[in-house]
């Protein structure tokens, strides 16, 4: 029999023994005498199982982590030593849920520290003192049982499905098994679930999640299932795959029986998953697949395909090259002029980022901005743009040249970072640039989603910044937002501006401008492209116009020339 065969039969014998009622301890130790001495000390109170090296120990642990109360681990062993054993289990939430006491004859503190860093709970020194051994074993088991049950780590309390940590563990087990068929992975994404929570309250939100969890358990018995936030994952053999129509029917049932109406769900499916990829990567792929139809109201189900794969890879490349691009100054700041409706002159600009690769190719903002917003890298771009704008203004101020306010965008990610206010304030105050020269534009979604936002805006205002509300009119709470947050200006979104010329559009915009003015806010119209729009906005006292009608975004050089001309005119 080869060694693996021997291992397997040994394991099955060990597993066979896992049936007693006493708590179970796994002793991983290569020396038979040491094993027996431990057994002698502990056998009255515990069921003892043995593994003669780390590798066998790991196999036993993987099959029995649910039943084991403790592992006693020797450090120096052939095949796989105690250090490697600890390393292998420390990143697996389920395996590392079983506490490990290291048995050591070693007097080296370094070794002990290394074991503790790798997650060991305690030490027992050789030679064994029976009282000490029993005492430590007892107290570690008791400690672990009082702090946590495996259930907490393994199961999501609300739905009874796996947690993400244990899902990864089980998916990896299945994918690396001998099973020859393929597997599919799906995600059900409750898009807009935050809205459910904010409209109906968190309790209702929990009810929805529990309902879906229950539905999953009833309908999807052959799968490995997990919930993570507002996403439900399921891995199942491809053989049992449902047709798209059947699946759609099931989903319709799910939605119609839900505790809230009009639940918005999107499903991403990855068929015949790549079994060599890490579970987390597979999950990323289905999430992205579901996201690809986020704004498509006619589709509920999307299947991972070459196109999505290509986008995924492009996204990854962009993320990986981001740091380098920032270093190489591939991000350029361009300036789109804002024109006063009263003077017809340029009175400000918005700084916009452009990504021009070293080889000259241009990455469209629509391709990289949503990505960097999603992964958080956008805040580094925000900061970079802010610094560039400050540098430009500072230089012109020092040279005595005319300057006008240049607004910059502050994304949601920047807002969530606690250091943002201090960072931005320090930069601009240290340079001695008047604060009203750099207004901050917050998007409406950024402004409405978080309760802390009021704090942040207030802090920025206290420092002296002016705050503009960007994309006004695109979200669902523009108006309520105006009542709570102290904005200095609103920027009418292009989608609103495009309604100029229709009766309703004209009415809304006319009144919006009135409301804003009455509340002491300026109004900037964005995305203005046609003369009738300009005429209408002027007639209705809109303060400022930004858009292709006057100018597209300009490189710094041209923008500087525009500012220079202001000096000549004055």
Partner 1 sequence: MTVKECYEKLGGDYNEALQRLMNEALVKRFILKFLNDDSMKILTDAVSEGDFETAFRGVHTLKGVAANLAFTDLRKAASELTEQLRNDKTHIDEDLYARVIENYDRTISAIKEFSEQ
* Residues lying near partner 1 in the complex (CB under 8 A): 30-34, 36-37, 40-41, 76-78, 105-106, 108, 126-130
Question: Least distance in Å: CB of 33 to partner 1?
Answer: 5
Classified as helix, coil or strand, 183 is: strand
Query: Of 88, 33, 20, 32, which Cα lies nearest the Cα of 57?
Result: 88
Classified as helix, coil or strand, 133 is: helix
Which residue number, 32 or 239, has a Cβ lying nearer to partner 1?
Answer: 32
Question: Least distance in Å: CB of 29 to partner 1?
Answer: 9
Helices 531-539 and 503-518, axial angle in degrees (round to 10): 40
Which residue number, 133 or 492, has a Cβ lying nearer to partner 1?
Answer: 133
Classified as helix, coil or strand, 22 is: coil
Which residue number, 75 or 265, has a Cβ lying nearer to partner 1?
Answer: 75
Q: Write b or e for each residue in 514-530: b if 16 or more Cβ atoms lie within 10 A of its Cβ, otherwise e.
A: eebeeeebbbbbbbbee
Question: Least distance in Å: CB of 140 to partner 1?
Answer: 21
Half-sphere exposure in the Cβ direction for 241 (13 Å, CA): 17
Q: Write b or e for each residue in 91-112: b if 16 or more Cβ atoms lie within 10 A of its Cβ, otherwise e.
A: ebbbbbbbbbbbbbebeeeebb
Which residue number, 8 or 129, has a Cβ lying nearer to partner 1?
Answer: 129
Structure tokens given for 395:
């230089």
Torsions phi, psi for 331 (to 5 deg): -85, 125
Which residue number, 41 or 523, has a Cβ lying nearer to partner 1?
Answer: 41
Distance of CA 88 to the CA centre of its chain: 26
Query: Of 566, 570, 498, 559, which Cα lies nearest the Cα of 527?
Result: 498
Question: Least distance in Å: CB of 20 to partner 1?
Answer: 23
Which residue number, 32 or 462, has a Cβ lying nearer to partner 1?
Answer: 32
Question: Least distance in Å: CB of 360 to partner 1?
Answer: 56
| Cis, peptide link before residue 127, omega less than 30° from 0 | yes
Classified as helix, coil or strand, 274 is: coil
Question: Least distance in Å: CB of 106 to partner 1?
Answer: 8
Which residue number, 125 or 191, has a Cβ lying nearer to partner 1?
Answer: 125
Which residue number, 30 or 112, has a Cβ lying nearer to partner 1?
Answer: 30
Q: How many angstroms separate the Cα of 206 from the Cα of each of 35, 153, 211, 250, 422?
A: 49, 19, 8, 21, 37
How deeply is 259 buried, as exposed, middle or buried, from its count of CB atoms within 10 A (0-12, 13-18, 19+)?
middle
Structure tokens given for 491:
């920027």
CB-based contact 492:474 (threshold 8 Å): no
Which residue number, 126 or 517, has a Cβ lying nearer to partner 1?
Answer: 126
Question: Least distance in Å: CB of 125 to partner 1?
Answer: 9
CB-based contact 104:55 (threshold 8 Å): no
Helices H / strands E in the chain, number of each: 24, 20
Q: Bridge partners of 409?
A: 441
Question: Least distance in Å: CB of 111 to partner 1?
Answer: 9
Which residue number, 30 or 87, has a Cβ lying nearer to partner 1?
Answer: 30
Question: Least distance in Å: CB of 39 to partner 1?
Answer: 11
CB-based contact 527:547 (threshold 8 Å): yes
CB-based contact 39:69 (threshold 8 Å): no
Question: Least distance in Å: CB of 30 to partner 1?
Answer: 7
Measured torsion, CA atoms of residues 256, 260, 261, 265, in degrees rounded to the nearest 10: -70
Question: Least distance in Å: CB of 76 to partner 1?
Answer: 5
Helices 82-90 and 54-64, axial angle in degrees (round to 10): 30
Distance CA 484, CA 468 (A): 14
CB-based contact 523:517 (threshold 8 Å): yes
Which residue number, 130 or 464, has a Cβ lying nearer to partner 1?
Answer: 130
Structure tokens given for 219:
């309908």
Question: Least distance in Å: CB of 9 to partner 1?
Answer: 22
Which residue number, 85 or 372, has a Cβ lying nearer to partner 1?
Answer: 85
Question: Least distance in Å: CB of 127 to partner 1?
Answer: 4
Which residue number, 78 or 520, has a Cβ lying nearer to partner 1?
Answer: 78
Which residue number, 84 or 508, has a Cβ lying nearer to partner 1?
Answer: 84
Query: Of 280, 274, 276, 310, which Cα lies nearest the Cα of 292?
Result: 310
Measured torsion, CA atoms of residues 364, 369, 374, 380, in degrees rounded to the nearest 10: 130
Question: Least distance in Å: CB of 103 to partner 1?
Answer: 8
Question: Least distance in Å: CB of 13 to partner 1?
Answer: 22
Which residue number, 37 or 210, has a Cβ lying nearer to partner 1?
Answer: 37
CB-based contact 301:251 (threshold 8 Å): yes
């Amino acid at each position: 029999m080869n060694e693996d065969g021997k291992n397997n039969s040994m394991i099955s014998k060990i597993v066979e023994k896992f049936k007693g009622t006493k708590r179970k301890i796994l002793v991983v130790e290569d020396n038979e005498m040491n094993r027996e001495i431990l057994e002698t000390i502990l056998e009255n109170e515990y069921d003892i199982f043995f593994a003669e090296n780390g590798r066998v120990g790991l196999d036993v642990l993987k099959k029995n982590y649910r039943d084991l109360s403790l592992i006693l681990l020797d450090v120096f062993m052939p095949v796989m030593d105690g250090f490697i054993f600890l390393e292998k289990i420390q990143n697996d939430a389920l395996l590392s849920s079983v506490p490990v006491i290291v048995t050591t004859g070693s007097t080296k503190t370094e070794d002990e520290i290394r074991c503790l860093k790798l997650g060991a709970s305690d030490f027992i020194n050789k030679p064994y003192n029976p009282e000490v051994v029993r005492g430590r074993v007892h107290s570690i088991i008791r400690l672990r049982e009082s702090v946590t049950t495996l259930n907490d780590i393994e199961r999501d309390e609300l739905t009874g499905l796996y947690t993400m940590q244990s899902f990864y563990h089980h998916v990896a087990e299945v994918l690396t098994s001998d099973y020859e068929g393929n597997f599919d992975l799906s995600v059900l994404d409750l898009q807009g679930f935050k809205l459910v929570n904010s409209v109906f309250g968190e309790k209702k939100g929990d009810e929805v999640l529990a309902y879906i969890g229950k539905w999953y358990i009833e309908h999807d018995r052959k799968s490995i299932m997990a919930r993570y936030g507002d996403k439900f994952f399921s891995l199942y053999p491809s053989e049992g795959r449902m047709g798209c129509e059947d699946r759609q029917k099931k989903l319709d049932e799910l939605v119609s029986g839900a505790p809230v109406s009009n639940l918005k769900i999107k499903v991403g499916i990855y068929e015949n998953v790549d079994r060599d990829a890490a579970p987390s990567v597979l999950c990323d792929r289905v999430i992205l697949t579901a996201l690809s139809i986020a704004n498509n109201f006619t589709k509920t189900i999307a299947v991972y395909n070459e196109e999505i794969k290509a986008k995924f890879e492009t996204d990854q490349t962009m993320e990986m090259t981001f740091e380098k691009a920032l270093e190489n100054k591939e991000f350029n700041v361009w300036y789109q002029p804002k024109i006063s409706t009263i003077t017809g002159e340029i009175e400000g600009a918005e700084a916009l980022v452009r990504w021009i690769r070293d080889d000259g190719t241009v990455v469209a903002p629509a391709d990289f901005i949503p990505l960097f917003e999603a992964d958080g890298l956008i805040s580094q771009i925000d900061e970079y743009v802010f610094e560039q704008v400050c540098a430009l203004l500072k230089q012109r101020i020092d040279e005595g040249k005319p300057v006008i306010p240049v607004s910059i965008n502050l994304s949601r990610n920047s807002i969530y970072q606690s250091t943002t206010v201090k960072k931005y304030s320090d930069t601009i105050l240290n340079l001695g640039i008047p604060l009203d020269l750099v207004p901050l534009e917050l998007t409406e979604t950024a402004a409405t989603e978080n309760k802390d936002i009021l704090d942040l805006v207030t802090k920025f205002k206290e420092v002296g910044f002016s705050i503009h509300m960007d994309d006004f009119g695109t979200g669902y709470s523009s108006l309520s937002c105006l009542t709570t947050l102290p904005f200095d200006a609103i920027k009418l979104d292009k989608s609103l501006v495009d309604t100029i010329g229709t009766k309703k559009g004209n009415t809304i915009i006319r009144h919006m401008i009135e409301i804003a003015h009455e509340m002491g806010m300026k109004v900037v119209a964005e995305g203005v492209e046609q003369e009738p729009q300009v005429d209408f906005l002027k007639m209705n006292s809109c303060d400022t116009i930004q858009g292709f009608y006057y100018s597209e975004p300009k490189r710094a050089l041209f923008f500087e020339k525009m500012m220079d001309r202001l000096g000549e005119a004055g």
